[in-house]
Amino acid sequence: MWFDLTKTTALEAKKYQQYKRWQNFLYLFAVLTAAYLSFKILFPSQFFEFSFNNSSAKSNTVSFVNINNSGKLQNGLMKKDATLSFAASSPSLFSKALVQFELDKKSQKIDTGKIIVRKSYQAFFYPEGNPVEIETYLHTRSQQQFGDGSLVSYGNSIYVVNNNQVMPIDSSETFLALGYAWENVLSIDADLFSAYTKGSLLTLYSAHPNGTVFQTDTDKKYIIRNGKKYPLPSDFTATAAVRVSEKSFALSADCQLQKDVLTFRKYSCDLPLDRLQDIPGKDYLMTAEFSNDIQLQNIFVELKKDATIANLKLSLSNLIKRSKENYVPTISNQ
């Protein structure tokens, strides 16, 4: 019901007209604000950035930045035909990614450059190791009450066991984005918990720790150990496996970098993400190659969802799904 002072207060004709104009303006402003906020919720955009001049800054939200899967770049120096890897992490689904590179003032221009994107979890893209290397590790893990990769609850927090440490998870959003399930969390008593040291905080930008088991849509299983994923025997029992898809390797999208018209040192391109939406995972893993030596200063990534009927239905479905998933059930005892 609209609130109208004129029902109880008498105004002069001129002031009444002014009052009605302001009233209509406020109603219109409220409606437009509600429509804008609804649009941003249903068709979100997320922004990520990384500075090579300050690679350890907390403001860096582009994650897993490295060259040739071996280490981070030194001052943004990028050699010809080397592979730059990086990721934008989000539990939401998007239609496209706008990727932009800003060159250092001393850098040559980019002759040609290409970006490829895939989707899954960062750790699932680790190189595959020889199962023989982890036979002792698997035996030791099986003898422990809470082996590496176990999800445990103590107090009001949930942790992942990793190398005699417990790594706290920063939020329920991160817990779900990592592919974990509430029913796999086990409570741990004070005596057992005190035997562990506290590890680093797991956030939305973190990779899965040691002991994480991935199970594919073809029932293959892999375990994470020190930057590699190792195949597991088919009869291996995984009580808290994270679901992944082997399509993560086959499906990709790419684009060619183009110089931005209004800038001297920025190059960008749009990556279509629609075909990756059904693949589980929080990480949009990207690789870039350049045809000449360059020096990068910044990476900018914007993930966007197009305003379409299909995306509207998908957004509403995901909002309902997340509201159900964010319910935390009673944690079970082992």
Distance, CA of 64 to CA of 202 (rounded, Å): 14
43-121+247-324, which class in CATH?
A: mainly beta
3-state secondary structure of 173: helix
245-304 per-position pLDDT tens digit? 999 999 999 999 999 988 889 999 999 999 998 999 999 999 999 999 999 999 999 999
Distance, CA of 89 to CA of 46 (rounded, Å): 10
3-state secondary structure of 260: coil
Of 321, 299, 219, 315, the residue nearest 51 (C-alpha): 299
Distance, CA of 206 to CA of 103 (rounded, Å): 27
Residue 176: both structure tokens together: 């779900």
Is pLDDT of 4 > 80?
no
For 180, phi then psi, to 5°, come to -80, 160
Strands (DSSP E) contained in 79-145 are: 83-89, 96-103, 113-120
pLDDT score, position 327: 52
pLDDT score, position 40: 57
Residue 93: both structure tokens together: 């689904």
Q: What is the mean pLDDT of residues 314-321?
A: 61
Beta bridge partners of 46: 303
- Contact indicator for 199, 262 with CB cutoff of 8 Å: no
Residue 132: both structure tokens together: 């023989």
Is pLDDT of 204 > 90?
yes
* Lowest-confidence segment of 35-49, 176-190, 238-252, 306-320 by average pLDDT: 306-320
Give the residue extent of every domain in the chain: 5-41, 43-121+247-324, 124-243
* Residue 310 buriedness (CB in 10 A; 0-12 / 13-18 / 19+): exposed
169-182 per-position pLDDT tens digit? 999 999 999 999 99
pLDDT score, position 263: 84
pLDDT score, position 41: 60
Of 240, 205, 200, 203, the residue nearest 224 (C-alpha): 240
Contacts of 257 (CB under 8 A, 6+ apart): 101, 110, 112, 113, 114, 115, 267, 268, 269, 288
Residue 94: both structure tokens together: 């998007």
